[in-house]
C-alpha cells in the first residue's frame, strides 16, 4: 500500500464499531436466552471469527449489512472452533464453554497459534475446568467438567483473562472473585450486568455468582482504538472529528496522554448508549511535547501504543514508555515492530524489555516498512507516512481487515467522510 504525504488533513469520520464490544455482544447473546440485535457491529475478520465459532457451538447468527441478529442457545454442542487471528475469541470462549458439558477444540492461524494461552488456562483450572494447551499455545482443548467458584488473582491486568474467568464463573457453583493488579477494561462487567448476571465490582476486584443470561440488544459505539489513528492525524496535520466514539474510562488512556503531550482536543455531544459513555472527539493540530508513561496507565491504552509512539517520534523531547511488556505477545512483538517501523521512516526509537525510548524529531523522512501481519502496525505506519516528508509504502497492509476494513479508503479521501 502506497501512502502519500499530506500537508493538511481534515475530516469528520464515522469510525467502525468497537471490536471488544462487538465480540462480547455476539458471544454473550449467543449463550443467553432469547434473541438480540447488535447494531453498528464491527465485521472485520476477528469478529467474523467469533460469529463462526458461535455458529459452530449451536447459536443462530445472521448478518444483514452492519447489523447482526443473534438467537442464543442454552446448550452448546461439541465443536471445533477456528478463531482465525483473534485472541479475544479464543481466550473468552475458553471460559464461556468451560463447565457447559461440551468438548471443544480451539484452533487459530499461525500468528494466534504462537500467542500464550496458559495465562487463561491456569486460572480456569482453579475453578475445576479441564483445559489443555499445546505447549502453552493453541490448539487448546476444553472438556466437560463441573466448576466451583473461588478467588482468582491474575498475574497481569488483562481484560481477556478476567473475562474468561467471569464467563466460566457464570456456570460455577458458589461465588467467584477475580482480583487484578490493575483495573483492566470493563466491557464484560457492564454487559453481563445488563444481561442479568449477579455481578459486582469493587476497586480492582470483580465478584460473580452463578447466573443465567438474557439477551439484550446492543448499539455498538465507535472504537476509540480505531479512532486513535485519525485523532493522531488531527494532532499532526489539521483537524479531525471522530463521531460516536466510546469513552469508557477504562479505555481512554490515550486522552490522558493527549493531556500530557499538549494535544488540543475536546469531547462533544457526550451521552450514554447501552450503558457505555459516548462522545464526538475533535482534535486540532498541536505542538507536541514528549511524555513519560508507566505501567499504571497501560491497561487503558495498550492497543494505542504504536500510534502514540508515532506521535512521540514527532514531539519535542525524549519520551519514555515503560511497563508495556504485554506488547510482546500481540499479533506481532509490537515493541520490536513499532521500533522497526519508526526507524525505517527516519525516527529515533530505542527498545527496552518493556517499552521504548523515543527521541522526537521535527519530521520523519518516510520510506518503506513491513506491517508484519499486525493491523495496528499497518495503521500506525500509515499515520506516520501521511505526516512524513516523502510518504512511502507498507508491505502486508491488507492485515488492517482484521479490525478496520475501511481504513485506507477513509485515509485516502478524508473529506468524503463528512
- pLDDT tens digit sequence for 366-412: 999 999 999 999 999 999 999 999 999 999 999 999 999 999 999 99
Catalytic residue among 186, 219, 280, 303: 303
**Torsional sign, CA 244, 411, 111, 70:** positive
Report the pLDDT value the prediction gives residue 243, as an integer from 0 to 100.
Answer: 97
DSSP conformation letters of 274-300: TTEEEEEEEEE----B--EE-GGGGGG
Give the end of a domain, one of 169, 187, 209.
Answer: 209
The CATH number of the domain holding residue 23 is 3.65.10.10
Residue 416, burial from CB neighbour count under 10 angstroms (0-12, 13-18, 19+): exposed
Tell the residue number behind the cell numbers 490493575, with chain if given. 182
Q: Is residue 387 part of a domain?
A: yes
Cell of 311: 506521535
Please compute the mean of the pLDDT values over residues 58-73 and round it to a whole number: 96
Q: How confident is the model at residue 415 (pLDDT cuts 50, 70, 90)?
A: low
Report the pLDDT value the prediction gives residue 416, as an integer from 0 to 100.
Answer: 53
Residue 8, burial from CB neighbour count under 10 angstroms (0-12, 13-18, 19+): exposed
Q: Is residue 216 part of a domain?
A: no
- Kind and range of the H or E element at 201? strand 199-202
Residues 116 and 195 in one domain: yes
3-state secondary structure of 372: coil
Dihedrals φ, ψ of 138, to 5°?
-80, 155
Report the pLDDT value the prediction gives residue 186, as an integer from 0 to 100.
Answer: 96
Please compute the mean of the pLDDT values over residues 118-144 and round it to a whole number: 98
Give the end of a domain, one of 163, 187, 209.
Answer: 209
Active site residue 303: yes
Dist CA 233 CA 6 (whole Å): 10
**Residue pLDDT, tens place only, 223-262:** 999 999 999 999 999 999 999 999 999 999 999 999 999 9
Tell the residue number behind the cell numbers 516528508, with chain if given. 389
Omega into 217 within 30° of 0, i.e. cis?
no
pLDDT over 60 (residue 155): yes
**Residue pLDDT, tens place only, 83-95:** 999 999 999 999 9
The number of folded domains in the chain is 2
**Residue pLDDT, tens place only, 174-208:** 999 999 999 999 999 999 999 999 999 999 999 99
Dist CA 75 CA 261 (whole Å): 50
Residues 265 and 392 in one domain: yes
pLDDT over 70 (residue 418): no
**Residue pLDDT, tens place only, 291-312:** 999 999 999 999 999 999 999 9
Amino acid at each position: 500500500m502506497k501512502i502519500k504525504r499530506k500537508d493538511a488533513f481534515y475530516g469528520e469520520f464515522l469510525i467502525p464499531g468497537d471490536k471488544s464490544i462487538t465480540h462480547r455482544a455476539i458471544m454473550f447473546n449467543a449463550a443467553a436466552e432469547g434473541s438480540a440485535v447488535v447494531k453498528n457491529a464491527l465485521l472485520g475478520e476477528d469478529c467474523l471469527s467469533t460469529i463462526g465459532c458461535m455458529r459452530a457451538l449451536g447459536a443462530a447468527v445472521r448478518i444483514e449489512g452492519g447489523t447482526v441478529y443473534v438467537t442464543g442457545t442454552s446448550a452448546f454442542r461439541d465443536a471445533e472452533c477456528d478463531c482465525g487471528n483473534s485472541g479475544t475469541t479464543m481466550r473468552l470462549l475458553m471460559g464461556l464453554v468451560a463447565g457447559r458439558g461440551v468438548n471443544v477444540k480451539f484452533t487459530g492461524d499461525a500468528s494466534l497459534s504462537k500467542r500464550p494461552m496458559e495465562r487463561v488456562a491456569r486460572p480456569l483450572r482453579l475453578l475445576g475446568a479441564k483445559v489443555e494447551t499445546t505447549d502453552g499455545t493453541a490448539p487448546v482443548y476444553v472438556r466437560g467438567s463441573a466448576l466451583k467458584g473461588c478467588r482468582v488473582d491474575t498475574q497481569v491486568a488483562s481484560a481477556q483473562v478476567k473475562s474468561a474467568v467471569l464467563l466460566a464463573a457464570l456456570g460455577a457453583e458458589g461465588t467467584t472473585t477475580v482480583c487484578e493488579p490493575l483495573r483492566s477494561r470493563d466491557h464484560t462487567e457492564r454487559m453481563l450486568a445488563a444481561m442479568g448476571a449477579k455481578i459486582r465490582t469493587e476497586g480492582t476486584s470483580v465478584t460473580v455468582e452463578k447466573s443465567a443470561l438474557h439477551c439484550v440488544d446492543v448499539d455498538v459505539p465507535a472504537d476509540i482504538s480505531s479512532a486513535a489513528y485519525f485523532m493522531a492525524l488531527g494532532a499532526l496535520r489539521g483537524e479531525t472529528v471522530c463521531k460516536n466514539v466510546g469513552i469508557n474510562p477504562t479505555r481512554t488512556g490515550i486522552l490522558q496522554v493527549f493531556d500530557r503531550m499538549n494535544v488540543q482536543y475536546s469531547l462533544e455531544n457526550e451521552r450514554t448508549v447501552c450503558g457505555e459513555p459516548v462522545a464526538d472527539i475533535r482534535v486540532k493540530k498541536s505542538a507536541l511535547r514528549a511524555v513519560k508513561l508507566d505501567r499504571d496507565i497501560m491497561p487503558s491504552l495498550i492497543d494505542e501504543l504504536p500510534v502514540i509512539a508515532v506521535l512521540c517520534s514527532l514531539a519535542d523531547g525524549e519520551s519514555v514508555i515503560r511497563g508495556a511488556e504485554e506488547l510482546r505477545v500481540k499479533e506481532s512483538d509490537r515493541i520490536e515492530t513499532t521500533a522497526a517501523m519508526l526507524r525505517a521512516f527516519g525516527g529515533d526509537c530505542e527498545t527496552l524489555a518493556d517499552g521504548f525510548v523515543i527521541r522526537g524529531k521535527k519530521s520523519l523522512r518516510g520510506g518503506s516498512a513491513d506491517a508484519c501481519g499486525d493491523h495496528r502496525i499497518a495503521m500506525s505506519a500509515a499515520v506516520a507516512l501521511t505526516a512524513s516528508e516523502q510518504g512511502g509504502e507498507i508491505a502486508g497492509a491488507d492485515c488492517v481487515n482484521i479490525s478496520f476494513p475501511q481504513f485506507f479508503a477513509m485515509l485516502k479521501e478524508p473529506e468524503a467522510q463528512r
